[in-house]
Structure 1
Amino acid sequence: MPPPRPHLSRLAERDAFWWMTGIEDTFITAPWPATGRTLDEYALTGHYDRWAGDIDLMASLGVKAARYGIPWHLVQRTRQDWDWSFADNALGRLLDRGIDPVVDLVHYGLPPWIEGAYLNPDYPDLIADYAGRLAARFEGRIRWYTPLNEPRVTAWYCGRLGWWPPYRRGWRGFIAVMMGIARGIVRTVRRLQAVDPQIVPVHVDATDLYETRDPTLIEETERRQEIVFLALDLVSGRVDPEHRLWPWLLQYGAGERDLAWFQANAVELPLIGLNLYPMFTLKRLQREGNGRFRIRQPYACGDLVAQLGRLYHERYRVPLFISETASLGSVEKRQRWMDDSLAAVRQLRNTGVPMIGYTWWPMFDLVAWAYRQGLREPAQYFARMGLWDLDPATLNRTPTSLVGSYQSYVAGGSFAVGSLELGEN
């Protein structure tokens, strides 16, 4: 590895490659009007009752780090009511088992008492306060925090589709929510580092790769690809009048003063996590018979990882890691993706791209988001993506052959993914 930056030295001391896992932690606290259902993955998969055993399963893999979400809506049930018991117990057990948590502070949903969600003018201060209190509880023990998982996807579902609070629709809604989210990320990073200057903000976003075979859709495809980077560009102060999206942002409601605020308050991107999936991440634009275009999602091969790694490296020039990946389907299909994606990681490292970690996510099944809007039992929405399968009747964690396979990769340390070659890259 290259000489580590000071705030990454702890990672370099532990291992030259960061093997990780995690548990799906989507928390949508607002009920869907037609069904009354919320979407709390920890409740649906039984993690609130099995958190200690689940952390022991993590430890059995040999991983030294894990992405782990804290349910803010349970920590802070009202603006004045704080309950740290779950966070203290779960994070404490991770540390006791020798696993460094990368704390996922917000995973889509917010406490329901925050009216207007990300558009609430107090939101940036509220998230910063929550983050600072948690960091203070674990000062000197936890150094890795994700201010908000997948800001672009959050803005899409909250602001473009209108499925999650604050239920805005269209590009104006998307940009309004994105601006609130990004401002919250900046405030959170500042507060975390004020509590402990050794804290490393881990910025994690979904990493769609857009393509088209239709020359009339090239401009739209390129704009969609730029939108993929929007959250990272905003918080790091890269969005200026020369930015490709500047006119588009102004067209759909962003103010020049708001954009200038991000340039004046830019934060560093010390480590970027790439969330990618072979069944979701590749996006292909094509014309339909009515002349409108549609975005399809063909299943991708392992080269998806290599393409995205190079794309992010060329743009940001910072260490990267795979913060979420898995395939949906049979154990054999999941195994192929594990092998193929790790071969791509090896390729990246051999060509000097600083890919320093890999996360199989989730470690056991998640409940698909359609559950919130559906009427069937939770087991009917299980997405088979994990190393363990969930038993539909008991929620027992049933190991698959993937557990042993991942253990073998983890045991190989950095040798399993090859050395990181240094050079002009």
Structure 2
Amino acid sequence: MNFLQHIKKKYGDGNYAGDQFGGAGGHDGSGLPADNPGNFMFATGIECSYPTIEKGKVRRDQLRECGHYDRWKEDLGLVKETGLRVLRYGLPYYSIHKAPGKYDWSFADEVMNEMKRLDIVPILDLMHFGVPDWIENFQNPELPVHFADYAGAVAKRYPWVRYYTPVNEIYVTARISGKDGVWNEQLKTDKGFVTAMKHAAAASIMGTQQIAQYRNDCVIVQSESAEFTHELCATPSAQTSLDNELRFLSLDLLYANAPSATVLMYLLDNGMTRKEYDWFMAGKPPGYQIMGNDYYGRNERIKLPDGSIQTSMDVLGWYEITKDYYERYKLPVMHTETNVFEADQAVMWLHKQWISIMRMRRDGIPVLGFTWYSLIDQIDWDIQLAEVKNHVNECGLYDLDRKPRPVCEAYKNLLQEFGQITIVPHAEMLEITDRPARLKVAM
């Protein structure tokens, strides 16, 4: 007899004792997400942007415009119905923080209590494109101090929350408010951009400091837009080269990563002092840091020789662009936002994003989670909320009547197939610890 015949005679033909414990007969990772801390985090989010337009006269509150204030309990139920455990959720900072030291927790308490009851894990978004009226806008140098007080108050009030995004998309906040002239201060200057950038980044850092005092094992998921401009010119312009470097600026300041000499000169030319720069470069904020990359096909642009811009939709894609960010910061990654505005293309877009994530995982890069953003459709995001047109963007898992779109069923199928995979292979041995964050992130 050969060795296989001997094995079969003694132990049988496959299905060997013990194989179910991680061997050939072990679990393949399929099934809806469970509560294992080492498991991959499948998420959705509830769109909560609230910038002002028309020189501060109009507040674009997506929680109101999309009906969440009236249907919040139903919306949280849909998260559970979809099979998800993780939710990117933004409390309305502008309406909670009434004045220094004064807060209105009435809406927040109701929602947070229901979230806790449903065992939904929130990634709590504390500032999403806007500030309270009394702070005015992102040019206010007192913003970091006021926001730090608010972040500490939230962490103290909801001590069971571990995951936070202190300031959502700092780069986008600063660009659209200070350089593009669309939101909040509506400036169109480099100095306006740099000022908004340093205030929002400092707010995130100081907010994280306060959160860590109340939750010393906090996990900070820094959601940031992953962008790139392709230029179809034989001689690329200095401005495009600068723009492709500035997309890293918020994370450079946040993670104490020295930018290029070109960017540093740009900062110093536009209002950042040497002392301010040194303050940012002193070190990373506390807590366990996750680099969240938001990717929409429209994040990539093609600049033609005549200077016009085309939306290129997925030239490099999330994989290639996020890999650039990972190589720069060497931090764990999460795909924190994606969608398309055309409901009939959403299923294919979801599958493309997931394929990118699987490829990233195969390359050995730790990807902690994925987010379809958002749970329900949005309003006027095709024009970046610049005007009140009440145009519905069909990008949600559910429409505004809370009826599922085809992408919802596709996401459920994805959850059934991959819902219990771990962050990296053999992550059972490397689960997210519940000990306080202690070590500096060092290479």
Specify the TM-score bucket, using the shorter chain as the normaliser.
Answer: 0.7 to 0.9
Shift of 1:198: 1.1
- Tell me, yes or no, if the aligned pair for 1:217 and 1:286 is still in contact at 8 Å: no
Q: Pairwise mapping of residues 184-199 of structure 1 onto structure 2 (< 5 A)?
A: 184-199=203-218
Where do 5+ consecutive residues of structure 2 fail to align? Answer: 1-33, 428-442
Equivalent of 2:156 in 120, 128, 136: 136
Equivalent of 1:32 in 36, 42, 54: 54
Q: Pairwise mapping of residues 40-59 of structure 1 onto structure 2 (< 5 A)?
A: 40-59=61-80
1:119 alignment partner in structure 2: 139
Residues 48-85 of structure 1, C-alpha deviation per residue, up to 9 Å, x if partnerless? Answer: 01000000001111112110000012212333531112
Identity of aligned residues (%): 26
Tell me, yes or no, if structure 1 residue 310 matches structure 2 residue 332: no
1:348 alignment partner in structure 2: 360
Shift of 1:419: 5.8
Equivalent of 1:178 in 189, 193, 197: 197
Tell me, yes or no, if structure 1 residue 273 matches structure 2 residue 292: yes
State the alpha-carbon separation in 2 of the partners of residues 216 and 158 from structure 1.
30
2:406 alignment partner in structure 1: 401
Shift of 1:110: 0.6
1:412 alignment partner in structure 2: 417
Where do 5+ consecutive residues of structure 1 fail to align? Answer: 1-10, 391-395
- Aligned residues, how many? 393
1:236 alignment partner in structure 2: 255
1:296 alignment partner in structure 2: 310
1:284 alignment partner in structure 2: 302
State the alpha-carbon separation in 1 of the partners of residues 321 and 229 from structure 2.
11
- Tell me, yes or no, if the aligned pair for 1:175 and 1:249 is still in contact at 8 Å: yes
1:255 alignment partner in structure 2: 273
Amino acid at match of 1:177: A
Equivalent of 2:126 in 90, 99, 105: 105
Amino acid at match of 1:297: T
CA RMSD of the aligned region, Å? 2.5
1:22 alignment partner in structure 2: 45
- Tell me, yes or no, if the aligned pair for 2:367 and 2:423 is still in contact at 8 Å: no
Q: Secondary structure at the match of 1:260?
A: helix
- Tell me, yes or no, if the aligned pair for 1:207 and 1:274 is still in contact at 8 Å: yes
Equivalent of 2:396 in 386, 392, 396: 386
- Tell me, yes or no, if the aligned pair for 1:353 and 1:420 is still in contact at 8 Å: no
Indicate the larger mover: 266-275 or 101-110: 266-275
State the alpha-carbon separation in 2 of the partners of residues 247 and 157 from structure 1.
22
Residues 137-162 of structure 1, C-alpha deviation per residue, up to 9 Å, x if partnerless? Answer: 111x1101111000011001111022
- Tell me, yes or no, if the aligned pair for 1:346 and 1:417 is still in contact at 8 Å: no
Amino acid at match of 1:44: E
State the alpha-carbon separation in 1 of the partners of residues 45 and 304 from structure 2.
35
Amino acid at match of 2:277: L
State the alpha-carbon separation in 2 of the partners of residues 174 and 207 from structure 1.
18
1:71 alignment partner in structure 2: 92
State the alpha-carbon separation in 2 of the partners of residues 165 and 246 from structure 1.
26
1:96 alignment partner in structure 2: 117
Cα distance change of structure 1 residues 414 and 374 upon mapping to structure 2, 3 Å threshold: closer
Cα distance change of structure 1 residues 79 and 298 upon mapping to structure 2, 3 Å threshold: same
- Tell me, yes or no, if the aligned pair for 1:124 and 1:188 is still in contact at 8 Å: yes
Q: Could you list the runs of 4 or more consecutive aligned residues of structure 1 that deviate by over 6 angstroms after TM superposition?
A: 415-418
Q: Secondary structure at the match of 2:47?
A: coil
Shift of 1:105: 0.2
Tell me, yes or no, if structure 1 residue 362 matches structure 2 residue 374: yes
The two structures have a TM-score, normalised by structure 2, of 0.83
- Tell me, yes or no, if the aligned pair for 2:367 and 2:424 is still in contact at 8 Å: no
Q: Secondary structure at the match of 1:147?
A: strand
Amino acid at match of 1:361: Y
Cα distance change of structure 1 residues 160 and 21 upon mapping to structure 2, 3 Å threshold: same
State the alpha-carbon separation in 2 of the partners of residues 373 and 234 from structure 1.
28
State the alpha-carbon separation in 2 of the partners of residues 136 and 180 from structure 1.
23
Cα distance change of structure 1 residues 211 and 114 upon mapping to structure 2, 3 Å threshold: same
State the alpha-carbon separation in 2 of the partners of residues 261 and 271 from structure 1.
21
State the alpha-carbon separation in 1 of the partners of residues 336 and 423 from structure 2.
19
Residues 200-230 of structure 1, C-alpha deviation per residue, up to 9 Å, x if partnerless? Answer: 2211111102222313116443322211110
Amino acid at match of 1:56: G
Q: Secondary structure at the match of 2:132?
A: coil
The two structures have a TM-score, normalised by structure 1, of 0.86
Higher relative contact order (CA 8 A, sep 6+): 2
Amino acid at match of 1:311: D
Amino acid at match of 1:250: L
- Tell me, yes or no, if the aligned pair for 1:326 and 1:337 is still in contact at 8 Å: yes
State the alpha-carbon separation in 2 of the partners of residues 129 and 81 from structure 1.
10
